[in-house]
Amino acid sequence: MMDVDEPLDFELEDSLLINPVVSNKRKKLMGLDELLTEHYKEQSKLIENEAKKQAKAQKTYDSDEDKNCKEAMLASLLDDCQKQVKAISSGEEMSEWGLCVFGQQKATPPLSFPELGSWSNFQSFMNNELNSLVGLTSEQVCSFLEGLLKNGWLLRLILKCGRVEKTIAVWTFSLMLYSSKEELRSSACEFWCAILSSKIQIDARPIEIDWYPNYSELKRALEIYGFLFNSSSSISAENSSDCKGPPQNIITWIKFTAVYCQIRCKQSVLLTSDCQELAAVIICLFLDRQLQGLSVLMRDCMQSVISSFTDEEWINSYSRIAKSVASRVPLDLNCLRAVQCISGVDTRTKHLKSVVAFEILVNCFDDKVANEEGILTWLISINVKEKSCDFFKMYIYVVLAENWLRYDEMFSEKPVIREMWGLFLRNCSCQISSTDLRPQASKVRNKAAYLLQGIGNS
């Protein structure tokens, strides 16, 4: 098939690499739309000006070349300038994404379970002759059961017996979410994941489970970890020095939630609205820098929540999830992170990604424009030459719009939108000069140029 080892044909590429000057495309577009023609005229003028300027710049640079010492001086000067520019621009809002989605932790519920002694297997073992070797008394029940859980005996027994009694289910669930001992948490989580998986695995004998946690239990755990459900209370991570993040227990919460959603097809455990909320919550988790290391787990969880909807549920759900996310994220790099964390590999996440980006974009314009053309018209109307142009915002718009359109499966069937998008990108890539030192200007320019090539290719 494709030969990677072969040298690349640079001539072919070069024609695409050079900033796509529109000359050959222009003819084709001429008759399209009044709006478009107008913009193109304006733009071509600007490009010419740009070209002249660049030519000039080139000349002066060339004449300097023979003066070696001057060159060195200039280089160091340039270095200083760049450093200064960097210092200035790093002071701008373009720093890093990151929200504090966890606040003060609450007290964990008590983990004593006196009713554990009523576990039927205990009762039967007390009278067993083998107890003469073990010497188990009813006082030791709790610690003994912890051992059974930690070392995996409990799971083996349950898989053999085929049923989990309510006491055991409640007890393991609490340990999983609230225990301060890593070992107990993870074995309880393994226990739950295994018994739940028995319901969906082919060839497996489904385990009868006498008690299922409901969504309020999952939500309560998050609250105890300090999760800020209220959007206004989540603060930018930089401003809060006491942003401690969640306890380690969040790991088992994420793992459990992932598996719990998967069994929705067999057991009605979570309502549609619960899953909508869960999806939004998990996207929020992605915004906390402290949880970055768990991104593989979080992505699995999100995937599992999203695929747990039936088709019908999904149609009614995605826009609610998107609106909830959009209303929660601040319009800075965090909103880009929120879009980026949605995988976009399968149809549903593609869809969700597009809609989330769109909803955030709508929020950017305070709901002044809500339809697709409206947004693009607005974007095209931004004059990047104007001194007051906020390139940080521009960058956000470019990335949001890119995600909205790239993951919109109807995009190829919307020629007008396509043209408008191309025009907007050309505005950004051609009208911003490469020497523009305004903060973020080059970032916008490079991004637009990159995206433009993608359009050229397709």
Partner 1 sequence: MEKGRINRGCMEANTLAIIDSSAEFHNHKDSQEAKDDRIDFLEAVRTASVVPENGTPPTKKMVDAVFTILRAGESLELIMSSYELLNEIEMHFPRVYISESSGNAPRELVVVKEAWLPFMVSLDVMSSEKETDRRKSCPLLDPNGFHELILGLAEMAYKTASQRLDTKFLGNMLLFQYLVNVLEGDFVPHINMYKESLNWNILRECTLNMLLASRRINYKVLMKDCLYTICALCQDYAGNYNESECSETSSEKSSENHNTDVAIALFEVQRATCMAMQKLLIMSMELDMSKQQAHMLCLTNRSRSDGVRTPVVEIVLDELTYHRNILPTFLQVFNDPKWKLEIIVQYLLKYTKPSVRTRRSNGPSENSTFLGVLKSFSDSSSSRNIIKKLGVEVVQLLLAHAFLAYMSMASQQHLAAMPDCNEAVLDSSSVVEISKSVAAAFNSLREVDEKIQISTLGKEALFTAAIIISTL
- Where in 118-137 is the site for partner 1 (CB under 8 A)? 121, 124-125, 128, 130-131, 133-136
What mask of x and - would describe binding to partner 1 in positions 192 to 221, judged by CB under 8 A? -----xx--xxxxx----------------
CB of 423 to partner 1, least distance (A): 20
CB of 274 to partner 1, least distance (A): 25
The interface region with partner 1, picked from 11-19, 33-41, 104-112, 273-281 by CB under 8 A, is 11-19
- Contact flag: residue 418 with partner 1 (CB under 8 A): no
Number of CB atoms found within 10 A of residue 401's CB: 23
- Say how many residues touch partner 1, by CB under 8 A: 79
- Among 393, 406, 414, 418, indicate the residue that binds partner 1 (CB under 8 A): 406
Nearer Cβ to partner 1 (186/276): 186
Number of CB atoms found within 10 A of residue 290's CB: 17
User: Site residues for partner 1, window 230-259 (CB under 8 A)?
Assistant: 244-246, 248, 250-251
Distance, in Å, from the CA atom of 342 to the CA atom of 303, rounded to the nearest integer, reads 9
The interface region with partner 1, picked from 25-33, 54-62, 274-282, 293-301 by CB under 8 A, is 293-301
What mask of x and - would describe binding to partner 1 in positions 323 to 352, judged by CB under 8 A? -----------------x---xx----x--
- Among 33, 35, 144, 323, indicate the residue that binds partner 1 (CB under 8 A): 144
Please identify which residue in the block is written with the tokens 């597009």: 354
Work out the burial of residue 272: count CB atoms within 10 Å of its CB; fewer than 13 is exposed, 13-18 middle, 19 or more buried: middle
- Contact flag: residue 109 with partner 1 (CB under 8 A): no
Residue 164 in 3-state DSSP? strand
- Contact flag: residue 293 with partner 1 (CB under 8 A): yes
- Contact flag: residue 12 with partner 1 (CB under 8 A): yes
- Among 49, 54, 84, 95, indicate the residue that binds partner 1 (CB under 8 A): 95
Structural contact between residues 456 and 16, judged by C-beta atoms closer than 8 angstroms: yes
- Among 157, 315, 410, 437, indicate the residue that binds partner 1 (CB under 8 A): 157
The interface region with partner 1, picked from 176-184, 210-218, 226-234, 270-278 by CB under 8 A, is 176-184
Give Cα separations from 288 to 235, 238, 279 (angstroms): 10, 11, 15
Helix axes 34-64, 68-91, angle to 10 degrees: 140
CB of 195 to partner 1, least distance (A): 11
What are the backbone angles phi and psi of residue 100, rounded to the nearest 5°? -95, 95
150-153: long-range contacts at Cβ-Cβ below 8 A with a sequence spacing of 24 or more?
A: 150/183, 150/184, 150/187, 151/187, 152/187, 152/190
Among candidate residues 213, 209, 212, the one with its CA nearest the CA of residue 158: 209
- Contact flag: residue 454 with partner 1 (CB under 8 A): yes
Structural contact between residues 99 and 332, judged by C-beta atoms closer than 8 angstroms: no
